[in-house]
């Protein structure tokens, strides 16, 4: 019989594997520090590789820490508000995986396209959202990023080239491939293409629609990044039990791949700089596997401790936490004092608390507006067109009629 205890131990070892939190410092000046990334990457079908070092300034590291800590506090707030029943329905939290979204965003340009799964709050924040409109969306009121009509799984921001969270497992990947096609189609001759990335979990990695998308992306040499956020569990099933091939960065067969230490924001940033350059230069798609971990269960309905033990989670928190890594990097290299970090954390906690209060003050969505913008004949002018064959609600018979 398969041992769940053994599975939990293996997952803990995987989560704790990779670079130590203590990155070696190569050189240091008053303005920047160069860090050794040796061991952060594993390659498949690649003749070139990311750099094994990265130079960062104090300001860059602090910027990454601020974003990641805001993500963490926002998700903790979501947890509390869900338990208080201010948030209803499905809710999938991202805490533990903050380095992935932060590192990708740091390597990307605003013009690059990004689409992801329903675990999308923090990516929305990285891609131009703010805590107030994210929480307002979760509360289902009119101040939300999609006007309170999408909820936890359906954030979207066209102006920031963030094409949302998808409620169906793996559904974002074909759409992401379409975004990559558009980026190649719209690219100017002789210039690098903007890339598209579709993030999905290890539990979605064997979906047929992903294989079909990869085939087309390879045939047409699209600037497409297939990004597996491997948090070691497909819902409540460990990778040993749900995938016969768990080296996900090799799953594209002839398509090149790279595995990145997804708990190290510096490795993610440098790795994705390399991936973006490779795909945007006309070399076709790439598979990227981010080795990461989620602290919460799959969703708020999952306690996350029936298929793994608390010791596994605690071990990852104590040895591989992505926020503690950045904090330690800043302090150990003399860039900031511990008290300065504490002041930043206090400031962000206060900010998230204020944004939560602001989010709750937005009005509810008017019943008459629930079906606005579902169909549109003219997007810019917000003219709406409802096809004759669509059966709309009979407000005269509605329980909510005024």
Split the chain (402 residues) into runs of 10 and give each run's mean pLDDT.
Answer: 39 47 58 95 98 97 98 98 95 97 98 97 97 97 92 94 95 98 95 97 96 98 98 94 94 97 98 98 98 96 92 94 97 96 98 98 86 63 60 64 51
Q: What pLDDT does residue 9 have?
A: 42
Domain-embedded: residue 239: yes
Residues 6 or more apart whose Cβ sits within 8 Å of residue 91: 78, 82, 138, 152, 299, 300
Domain-embedded: residue 385: no
Burial class (CB in 10 A: 0-12, 13-18, 19+), 220: middle
Question: Distance between CA atoms of 221 and 208, rounded to whole angstroms?
Answer: 20
The pTM of this model reads 0.88
Helix axes 58-83, 322-332, angle to 10 degrees: 150
Question: Distance between CA atoms of 94 and 122, rounded to whole angstroms?
Answer: 7
Domain-embedded: residue 394: no
Q: Please give the residue range of the domain that contains residue 292.
A: 4-372
Residues 6 or more apart whose Cβ sits within 8 Å of residue 64: 102, 103, 106, 265, 269, 326
Residue 142 C-alpha from the chain's centroid: 24
Domain-embedded: residue 402: no
CB atoms within 10 A of CB 168: 12
Q: Which of 208, 244, 251, 254 is nearest to 226 (CA)?
A: 251
Adjacent-strand bridge partners of 165: 116
Q: Structural domain tally of the chain? A: 1
* CATH code (residue 367): 3.40.50.970
**Structural tokens at position 92:** 């999938």
Domain-embedded: residue 360: yes
Domain-embedded: residue 85: yes
Q: What pLDDT does residue 5 have?
A: 36
Q: What pLDDT does residue 31 have?
A: 79
Domain-embedded: residue 207: yes
Domain-embedded: residue 381: no
């Amino acid at each position: 019989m398969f041992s769940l205890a053994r599975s939990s131990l293996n997952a803990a070892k995987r989560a704790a594997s990779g670079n130590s939190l203590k990155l070696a410092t190569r050189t240091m000046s008053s303005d920047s520090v160069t860090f050794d990334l040796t061991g952060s990457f594993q390659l498949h079908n690649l003749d070139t590789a990311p750099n094994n070092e990265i130079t960062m300034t104090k300001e860059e590291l602090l910027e990454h820490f601020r974003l990641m800590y805001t993500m963490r506090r926002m998700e903790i707030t979501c947890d509390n508000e869900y338990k208080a029943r201010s948030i209803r329905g499905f809710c999938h939290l991202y805490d533990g995986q903050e380095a992935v979204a932060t590192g990708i965003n740091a390597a990307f340009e605003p013009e690059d396209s990004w689409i992801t799964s329903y675990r999308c709050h923090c990516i929305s924040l990285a891609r131009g959202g703010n805590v107030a409109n994210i929480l307002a969306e979760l509360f289902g009121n009119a101040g939300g990023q999609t006007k309170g009509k999408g909820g936890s799984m359906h954030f979207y921001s066209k102006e920031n080239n963030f094409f949302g969270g998808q409620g169906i497992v793996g559904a974002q990947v074909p759409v992401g491939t379409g975004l990559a096609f558009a980026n190649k189609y719209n690219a100017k001759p002789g210039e690098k293409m903007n890339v598209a990335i579709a993030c999905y979990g290890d539990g979605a990695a064997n979906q047929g629609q992903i294989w079909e998308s990869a085939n087309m992306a390879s045939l047409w040499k699209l600037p497409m990044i297939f990004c597996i956020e491997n948090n070691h569990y497909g819902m409540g099933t460990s990778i040993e039990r749900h995938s016969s091939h768990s080296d996900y960065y090799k799953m594209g067969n002839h398509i090149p791949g790279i595995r990145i230490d997804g708990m190290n924001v510096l490795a993610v940033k440098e790795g994705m700089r390399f991936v973006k350059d490779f795909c945007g230069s006309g070399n076709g798609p790439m598979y990227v596997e981010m080795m990461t971990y989620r602290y919460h269960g799959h969703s708020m309905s999952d306690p996350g401790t029936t298929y793994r033990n608390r010791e596994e989670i605690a071990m990852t928190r104590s040895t591989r936490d992505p926020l503690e890594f950045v904090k330690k990097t800043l302090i150990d290299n003399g860039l900031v004092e511990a008290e300065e970090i504490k002041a930043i954390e206090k400031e962000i906690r206060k900010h998230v608390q204020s944004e939560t209060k602001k989010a709750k003050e937005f009005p509810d969505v008017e019943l008459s507006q629930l079906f606005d913008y579902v169909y549109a004949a003219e997007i810019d002018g917000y003219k709406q067109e409802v096809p004759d064959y669509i059966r709309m609600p009979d407000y005269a018979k509605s329980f909510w009629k005024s």
